[in-house]
């Protein structure tokens, strides 16, 4: 009988997931995408935290370190974006870290803590593309099994992303590439 109760308890516990309360799409805060900035060259020996802070300050990025244990590294790299530099520098130590782009800051936290990460919601207002077009282009990246979603909020001319936090950076990088003005045809100028 005792073993049966333990088995039932385990089955009930295994089936329980903490339900995450998500906002209606109209209430999701509008996010900010940090631009790629200039091409960087780095010749650094010392604290990774200091390197990240220097680059963030240079690029106008707000950084928040969460459960971060600083470590030293030696890096000599050229022709990188700040995102590429963050990925390389944060993976050099004995503990791997990830950068998560949020609505106002970029959070640096241990990659291990992202295994059961909650979903984050952020709304982005495209500059040049229609929200429907952004949604259609990025929808193949959605991990439906992880309850991720992308939808259009037509009242705010925005795309609402519900994704695991670690995947937001990838979406921002792609948006930087695709949300560009359409080239003007010379034929259309003649008429």
pLDDT of residue 53: 95
Q: Which residues of the chain have pLDDT under 50?
A: 1-18
pTM, 2 dp: 0.54
What the block records as the tokens of 101 is 């782009």
Q: How far is CA 172 from CA 13, 49, 101, 169, in A?
A: 36, 23, 8, 5
What DSSP assignment string belongs to 60-79? T--EEESS----EEEEEEEE
């Amino acid at each position: 009988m005792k073993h049966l109760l333990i088995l039932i308890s385990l089955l009930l516990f295994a089936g329980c997931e903490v339900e995450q309360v998500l906002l209606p799409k109209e209430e999701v805060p509008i996010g900010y995408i940090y631009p790629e900035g200039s091409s960087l060259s780095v010749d650094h020996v010392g604290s990774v935290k200091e390197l990240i802070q220097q680059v963030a300050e240079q690029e106008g990025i707000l950084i928040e370190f969460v459960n971060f244990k600083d470590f030293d590294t030696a890096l000599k790299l050229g022709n990188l974006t700040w995102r590429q530099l963050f990925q390389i520098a944060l993976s050099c130590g004995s503990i791997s870290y990830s950068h998560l782009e949020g609505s106002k800051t970029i959070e640096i936290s241990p990659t291990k803590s992202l295994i059961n990460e909650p979903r984050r919601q952020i709304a982005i207002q495209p500059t040049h593309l229609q929200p429907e077009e952004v949604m259609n282009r990025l929808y193949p990246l959605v991990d439906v099994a992880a309850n991720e979603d992308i939808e259009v909020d037509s009242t705010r001319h925005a795309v609402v992303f519900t994704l695991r936090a670690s995947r937001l950076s990838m979406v921002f990088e792609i948006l930087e590439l695709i949300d560009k003005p359409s080239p003007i045809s010379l034929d259309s100028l003649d008429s």
